[in-house]
Structure 1
Amino acid sequence: MSTLFQVNSDFWSNLFSSPWQIVIHVLDVGIVAWLIYRFIKALAGTKIMSLVQGVVLFVFLKFVAEFLGLTTITFLMNQVVTYGIIAAVVIFAPEIRSGLERFGRTPQALIQTRTVTSDDQIVQAFVDAVKYMSPRKIGALVAVEGTQTLREYITTGIPLDADISSQLLINIFIPNTPLHDGAVIVKDNKIAVSCAYLPLSESSSISKEFGTRHRAAIGLSEQSDALIFVVSEETGAISVAHKGDFVHDLSIDAFERLLKEQLISEGSETKPFLKTLFGGKKDA
């Protein structure tokens, strides 16, 4: 007991040995807290967050088992931890790779000047394409990948890996052409595929006025953080789905403002999906 008391005494005396040491320790704790905050905020609303919550609960139960002296349960939990880490890396390899790629691009983003960025050009391409297709009632369905991978849906489409342009988007969705059916998926500022199949929403509260494209947009938004926009083939109305929210009958100006809010990064996080800001009508 005296040895433990001496160790604790030495720890606290070293911790506050000088004002400079106090500043260093405060900075150390502050950096760790900020990293944890950013990590949790980046995972909020994703499927990985559910895994993280489960891991935290599992670790808590493991400490309880050790404290109570439950030897067998503690042994089994240690085995799960040993092999669970490997399993998690294999299962979530796409998400981990995507996160590392984004992290690697951060230094470049910090030194870039913001004149006309690729994000601006992409948003303008989307707006120009919709501006052409909407009055002509050319049906369209476009999904822009967020932090969660859409690889399982990308594999269902026809690979393009093409630069985004309004002309290409318009040409893809012209009726009775080989690529017009299904969805276009945008990944890493490229049109990854066309003719992709998206999951249909099973919600019974969706109005019957919405067809397969709208149900697919809502379905994908319920299962990922992708931003999906739709042009109705029947009415030419513009709709957007994101994280389970759905707005329709947007004007071109409202659609452009929404895209800029969601897709153009200005050194801050993605903005909330504000349904009432754009004059759109919410449904299901």
Structure 2
Amino acid sequence: MVADGEQRPFRVRFGWGGEDLAVLTRVSDTVVIVDVLRFTTAVSVAVTRGAQVLPFPWRDATAAPFAARHGAVLAGLREDPSTPWSLSPTDLAGIPAGTRLVLPSPNGATLSAAAADLGATLIAGCLRNAAAVGTLLAGEVAAGRAVAVIAAGERWPAPSGHAHAGPLRPAVEDLLGAGAIIARAVDAGTLPRAQISPEARAAMAAFRAAAPDLHDDLRASSSGRELLGLGWDDDVAAAAQLDADANVPVLRGGAFTALRPRTG
């Protein structure tokens, strides 16, 4: 038996990581990438401030020339005082409007770069913009289009020792972020069950169960504990602020920029 990994019978789909992204992007009109701790949360905060975010997979020797070619500032590490911007959504709350920021990330940015040329409209989703993104998705489905929500997850270390090149590690914070977006789409559009894949319904159910304790669950997650160990509880708290941002970050011309959700 061949599995229908494309979830074609349904208008609202859900998947994990680059593997499902490659499959679902081919058959979906709009794709939402969710990397709650911290890439897509950082994108949401930055574009709400009026900045543009250019995703880039790695902060290696090619990142600075890329930023220079695109008239952008390269984000650094939060612990490096020589640069004001990083993956930290807390720090990005002060970014000036009009800033073009190259934001490297091994998960969310890598997936964004991979999906950029696949044809679908690409959105950065998280808990903070769940209602805005969900409202847009409800409109897409009402217009007869298919949408996919992709939880980025993390990567286990590869046998070679590379920290981000191993197999997928599902991350609960991304499951909850994806489920929040799907739940908000259902609430906004009263979507019938028959249009939502079982995978998407499961993500939505996980969010609804966790909604009263989002901050606590994010703090207790593997990724959350890692950030707490670095002293960055403020980033976890920022990521847990459900529906705090009213803008939808859409990738256009290589940069995420703010798009007001379509409600009609």
TM-score, normalised on structure 2?
Answer: 0.27
Q: Which structure is richer in relative contact order (CA contacts within 8 A, separation 6 or more)?
A: 2
Structure showing greater Rg: 1
